[in-house]
Amino acid sequence: MEPRVSLVTLGVRDVARARTFYVDGLGWDPLTEVPAEVVFVQVGHGLLLSLWRRSDLLAESGQDGTGSDRAGSVVPVALAHNVSSPAEVDAVLASARAAGGTVVVPAQAREWGGYSGYFADPDGFRWEVAHNPGLVVGDDGRVTLEAVEPDPGAW
């Protein structure tokens, strides 16, 4: 697994309130957003910040009581590591398990058109390993992000 963070996701209690602070207050331009659900902002070369509804993040990352959390605590944050194919998602999750991590959410097709799963590090911090065909990082580090049609049949 290469050392790479593609997105930092903060699970916020009120997306509109977070948007007011980051977008209206700090003046950060959203790359894309879904009202009351999620706001994406580019915060570095090939790096996005995601302000996501906390309940969704906790559920998807296996921190809502349905997943295993060895640290026994909930942290409403996730780091994403993007790779270039579904097969690579599976391979990275396997390597994280071999390294002593825990695959807390098996890789699966996602409604946004990609494929991802989650592992937890020894403290329970969540990493999403994702293939997102709609997220492209240009040579200059600029990120474009658009939803693509889900195609679970491809996997």
Task: Give the interface with a second copy as residue ranges (CB under 8 A).
Answer: 1, 3-6, 8, 10, 12-14, 17-18, 20-22, 24-29, 41-47, 49, 54, 71, 75-77, 79, 95-96, 98-101, 121-123, 125, 141
As measured in angstroms, the least distance from the Cβ of 149 to a second copy is 29
As measured in angstroms, the least distance from the Cβ of 2 to a second copy is 8
Task: Sheet with 115-120: list strands edge to edge.
Answer: 30-34, 38-44, 47-53, 7-12, 77-83, 126-131, 115-120, 102-109
As measured in angstroms, the least distance from the Cβ of 141 to a second copy is 6
Q: Closest CB to a second copy among 19 and 131? A: 19
Q: Closest CB to a second copy among 8 and 145? A: 8
Neighbouring C-alpha atoms within 13 Å toward the C-beta of 92:
26
| 35 phi and psi angles, rounded to 5 deg | -50, 135
- Alpha-helix residue ranges (DSSP H) falling in the chain: 15-19, 54-60, 86-98
